[in-house]
Amino acid sequence: MSTGVHRPDMGKSPAAASVVENLTTVWQRVLQVSSIGPEDDFFELGGDSSLALQLFNEIGKTFGRELPPVTIYQARTIAALSALLEQPSAPRFPALVLLREGDKAPPIFLAHGLGGSAMDFFQPVRHIRSDRPLYGLQAKGSDGIDEPFNRVEDMAEFWIEAIRQIQPQGPYVLIGYSLGGLVALEMAQRLRACGEKIALLAMLDAYPYMRFLSPGQRVKLFARQLKRGLHSLGDFEFGAAYNPPAGITLTPAMQRTRAAAFTALTSYRPCPYEGPVKFVRAAVPTAFPSDAAAVWSPLIRQVEVETVPGDHLGMIATHHEDLAAVLSRYLDEALGSSE
């Protein structure tokens, strides 16, 4: 991976024009906006998580520099991104990304899914009703510098250390989507073992890998796959549920992080949890169990299951307002209304 701005092929060098001018061209192409100033905000111009992925793919091709798409939260303007690209080496990315500001405590921490980033929560965060700051937990290695973790236990320790930098003591609010739900569960386990209080643990369509399901659950999954015309329950079918939407290309660093995260998923066996859990399942189960309570009740003393529209990806990308309404209610119940 290049650590500096270099001359791409065909002589189209960023040095031939300013970095700002080249970035402006990229932004105009991705956002389909003809006039963009160096201080215009990406999100105010209509940018979203999918466009951020496209934007940073284009930046990689144009400048020969790989930056994680979630960088847009740190550098929302062409001027700010230009400053990053002019640095001689790739910037390290923090484990916590402030997705939305707030003035009340405690903060809310959201763990993203396998192969994703804190950008997974772009849409729901816009609709969650809370006066508390919302932080996205960003996987180690997504900046292309550090080696990603391939164990859920290591991910949990990494993020616990990060959240304690801004919140040394509980009560903690943890929300995890997909693989992030398993990591949030492990974090809650470890925090409780240290005597900390968990105000809210919400798991969003998060399930153990199939070999850790009961025989009955595996049989049901296999039967559903047969109805869909598939003939096995191999890694490909189960892992396909974690793939990004069609047309979205992951950066090389995100691909490496995804591969490590999938290894973590396949080897993690959840332990019994004594605290309460709010579980939100997708109405369309695809490659996952259809009965979340049957999966988690043997492991979680008190699990409350609720259903939102969509499938595994659609619940957060398309039906984000429904999901945000449920999470807002959970936050009100756990912490008190922000009204």
CATH number at residue 214: 3.40.50.1820
- Please tell me whether residues 212 and 322 are part of one structural domain: yes
Number of domains in the chain: 2
Band (5; pLDDT cuts 50, 70, 90): very low
- Please tell me whether residues 125 and 65 are part of one structural domain: no
Q: Quick check: 128 and 324 in contact, CB under 8 A?
A: yes
Domain boundary among 64, 85, 106: 85
- Please tell me whether residues 311 and 272 are part of one structural domain: yes
Domain boundary among 85, 116, 135: 85
Strand order in the sheet with 172-177: 96-100, 134-137, 108-111, 172-177, 198-204, 273-282, 300-308
Quick check: is 3 in a domain?
no
Quick check: is 73 in a domain?
yes
- Please tell me whether residues 241 and 308 are part of one structural domain: yes
**Residue 269 or residue 224, greater confidence:** 269
> Can you tell me the distance from the alpha carbon of 183 to that of 155, in angstroms, rounded to the nearest whole number?
7
Helix, strand, coil shares, percent, the chain, to 5: 45, 15, 40
Quick check: is 267 in a domain?
yes
Quick check: is 110 in a domain?
yes
- Please tell me whether residues 78 and 216 are part of one structural domain: no
Domain, as residue range, for 211: 96-335
- Please tell me whether residues 196 and 321 are part of one structural domain: yes
pLDDT in tens, 34-66: 889 889 999 889 888 788 888 988 888 888 887
For the segment 291-317, the average pLDDT, to the nearest whole number, is 93
Quick check: is 25 in a domain?
yes
φ and ψ at 172, to 5 degrees? -105, 150
pLDDT, residue 237, reads 46
For the segment 252-268, the average pLDDT, to the nearest whole number, is 89
- Please tell me whether residues 157 and 30 are part of one structural domain: no
User: For residue 61, what is the domain's CATH number?
Assistant: 1.10.1200.10
pTM exceeds 0.75 for this model: yes
Quick check: is 1 in a domain?
no
Quick check: is 254 in a domain?
yes
Picking from 42, 39, 46, the residue whose alpha carbon sits closest to that of residue 59 is: 42
Q: Give the count of beta carbons closer than 10 Å to the beta carbon of residue 9.
A: 8
pLDDT, residue 1, reads 33
- Please tell me whether residues 56 and 181 are part of one structural domain: no
Cis peptide before 289 (omega within 30 of 0): no
Quick check: is 199 in a domain?
yes
Does pLDDT of 82 surpass 70? yes
**Residue 48 or residue 263, greater confidence:** 263
- Please tell me whether residues 196 and 302 are part of one structural domain: yes
pLDDT, residue 40, reads 92
